[in-house]
Chains A and B, each alone.
Chain A
Amino acid sequence: MLGSLEYQYALDLCVVMACAAPLQPITVIAHTPFYCTGLARRLPYTPINAEPPASATPRLIWAEPEQPTAAAVLAQLSQPIPLQRLCLITSNRLARRLPEWRTAPPAHAPLGITGTLRLLRGTAWQVTQVYGFHAGVSIIYGVIGQVWHRLHRPDLADRWHFRMQAAYVQWGWQARLAPVSVVVAMRGQGGVRG
């Protein structure tokens, strides 16, 4: 199964953002088969860890914080190295409607975007951006496209579909309404808070 565009975006953008400095080592934390497979395909030479490894790296991908373990994992991640960038994937309430959740759930008890931002608040991690996939106007455009489809206007349905795709990535408050989000946080050198 190819999976939803939401998770495809989340995995792709996490990897793109984490790999912005290609010579720096990267740590990937994931434990469900869904994320392990998706990340291994994109980063075939990077080990996937179920828990944070002992040595710290400047770049981290965490897919994804879960309710019982998130605080402990974050504590293990917060090691004293000069500068770190963390990209987290969160599945939010609407994510459960996505096809992955019927076949290979990405998470068991996801912390979600609200819980993740709360978790990071008051720590050394400073959230620099939150991206959400298929929220707000993107959903509205998609619905309009479906209406045109039902009215037997596939030409207009396709145009609204592409309008929806163009608005698929949201940031700021709209991102928090999305089924799936990516949180980018920095730690160290000017990024320290709390």
Chain B
Amino acid sequence: MTMNRSDAPHDLALVVSRLAAWLQSMRAPHGYTGPVAHWWQSSLHYTGIGIDWRYEGIITGYIYLYRASGNAHWLARASQAADDIVRAQLPDGSLQASSFERNPHPHGTPHEAACALALLRLVVVLQAAADLRWQGYLAVAGRIIGRQLSRLWDASARAVRDAPDVPSFVPNKAATLAEAIILLAQISHSPTLISDYVVPILDTIIAHQLTDCTDPRYVGAIYQNSFGAQPVPKFFPLYIARCIPALVLGTQVIGDPRYQRAALHALTFVLRWRTPDGSLPQVLYPRWRSNPYPHWIAATGDILRAMDLLADQHPADPAPTRAWLVQGQLPSGGIRTAHGFAAQIHQRTLPAPPDLRDLLPVCGWNDKAFAYLTSQLTPSAAQTVRDDLPLKPSTHACQLRGVLGTYEEDQQQLSFRQGSRMLYLWRKGASVPEVCDPVLYVK
């Protein structure tokens, strides 16, 4: 299914409705729950509430729905999610269970900054609506950012570290924090926040970008991270795309054309590696080497968002990637995480059912699809979106570590079984799976 703003708005509304209903099914009373499948490691054992970057896309998506439809229901949903963050704030300003694939640890990056960013986007909306709840959310976001800066700001390097005791820099994580600081500076009329923190962060991101290299295919790439002065030669299209919103926002606020150029070069690099089916490789290395699998599906919402931000300056067609994303929607309404997790070690795909981690819809990936898809709704289509559709059960053949089985999901639970033998059973909202066979003792 291929769609765009003009040709299929009501199909898109249905996709968003099913996704919104699925998100509701993942809620416990105080937050969004569920297992996590990720490149670095997965979290199939801790399945409780995560106060991480899932809130960036969820709250942003509800804001898009509210703005497009004028329906206060979506503002209430955004505030409900914001209240989850408020409730999870620890006395030092950090957040409980903010480490996504390493939950339930606090201090997750860029997750706490992403939560602050979400709160600040909501503050802007509430201020416009003269809703005084903005004051509480602003205070919480300010404490999150304050904690991030006090813990991670490296005054000598003029950048944020990834860990307090390790000289390190991760461009995409710093970009999320920079976006949050820009919004905080605008809301609180504190321009020094931009000169003191945002400018050095964006400059450091640009310093991590390849501009003149012998292989033109790498121009625009941004190193994944660095330790001290040593960059790590890995280029993840998703994470490079996540640098783009901060560079675009920085251009608007600071007026430095270098940031816009960097954003365009970054997007050009990302799209240079796009495959005809619209998907992108997982990670590229120097000398044309890559580990292409798994290809993200739900997370491509963030790549589409970057394309959308630069649509008037970059001619790329988002349709193939949008189709890749939408075709990943499961009958339950959740969007698959990936394609090719089983190939993560050998990087060869075999004719076999998908890996369980491919199918698993994850809140912290679906939020990216949700934010992008809601941003594409016309006002009339947004009027038709709802989040109370009944979930259709999903049933798929799948595998994990050579064990063939069946993945099933409905309103109440998600499971993986081999015949009648249950290997994994998670009741939605629970903080641990009820059944977890040793075959799933993997991260």
Q: Which residues of A contact B (CB under 8 A)?
A: 1-3, 5, 8-9, 12-13, 15-17, 19-20, 22, 41-43, 131, 153-155, 158-159, 162-163, 165-166, 168-169, 171
Contacts and interface: CB of A to CB of B under 8 A. Distances in A.
B104 A42 contact: yes
B226 to A, nearest CB: 14
Contacts of A41: 96-97, 104-105
Chain B interface, >50% SS class:
loop
27 contacts: A2-B102, A2-B105, A5-B41, A8-B102, A9-B441, A12-B46, A15-B46, A15-B432, A17-B436, A20-B435, A20-B436, A41-B96, A42-B48, A42-B431, A42-B432, A154-B233, A154-B285, A155-B285, A158-B234, A159-B291, A159-B346, A159-B347, A162-B345, A163-B345, A166-B401, A168-B443, A169-B442
A165 B41 CA distance: 8
A15 B436 CA distance: 11
Contacts of B317: none
B384 to A, nearest CB: 39
A88 to B, nearest CB: 17
A9 B435 CA distance: 16
B421 interface: no
B97 A166 contact: no
B45 interface: yes
Interface of B: 41, 45-46, 48, 96-97, 99, 102, 104-105, 107, 163, 232-234, 283, 285, 289-291, 344-347, 401, 427, 430-436, 438, 441-443
A181 to B, nearest CB: 13
Contact of B438 (A154, A159, A171): A171
Nearest to A17: B436
B434 A20 contact: yes
A2 B346 CA distance: 28
B443 to A, nearest CB: 6
From A3, A5, A158, A169, name the one whose CB has the most chain B CB atoms within 10 angstroms.
A158
Contacts of A158: 234, 283, 291
B435 to A, nearest CB: 7
B242 to A, nearest CB: 20
B285 A13 contact: no
Contact of B345 (A154, A159, A168): A159
A187 B433 CA distance: 23
B103 to A, nearest CB: 9
Contacts of B45: 12-13, 15-16
Contacts of A159: 291, 344-347
A83 to B, nearest CB: 18
Contacts of A168: 442-443
B432 A19 contact: yes
A16 B432 contact: yes
A171 B438 CA distance: 10
A169 B441 contact: yes
Contact of A155 (B46, B290, B432, B441): B290
Give the interface centre of B430, B432, B435 by most chain A CB atoms within 10 Å: B432
A154 B41 CA distance: 17
A48 to B, nearest CB: 15
Contacts of A165: 41, 442-443
Nearest to A12: B45
Contacts of B435: 20
Contacts of B430: 22
A132 B243 CA distance: 39
A111 B173 CA distance: 41
Given A155-B290, A159-B344, 20 more contacts: A2-B99, A2-B102, A2-B105, A5-B41, A8-B443, A9-B441, A9-B443, A12-B46, A16-B45, A16-B433, A41-B96, A42-B46, A42-B431, A43-B431, A155-B289, A158-B291, A162-B345, A163-B345, A166-B442, A169-B438
Contacts of A15: 45-46, 432
A43 B441 CA distance: 19
Contacts of A5: 41, 443
A1 B163 CA distance: 8
Nearest to B344: A162
Contacts of B234: 154, 158
Contacts of A42: 46, 48, 104, 431-432
Nearest to A158: B291
B25 to A, nearest CB: 19
B434 A22 contact: yes
A8 B46 CA distance: 10
Of the listed residues A2, A155, A159, A165, the one surrounded by the most CB atoms of chain B closer than 10 A to its CB is A155
B426 to A, nearest CB: 11
7 residue pairs, one from A and one from B, having the closest CB atoms:
A12-B45, A41-B104, A169-B441, A155-B289, A19-B432, A155-B285, A16-B436
Nearest to B283: A158
A41 to B, nearest CB: 4
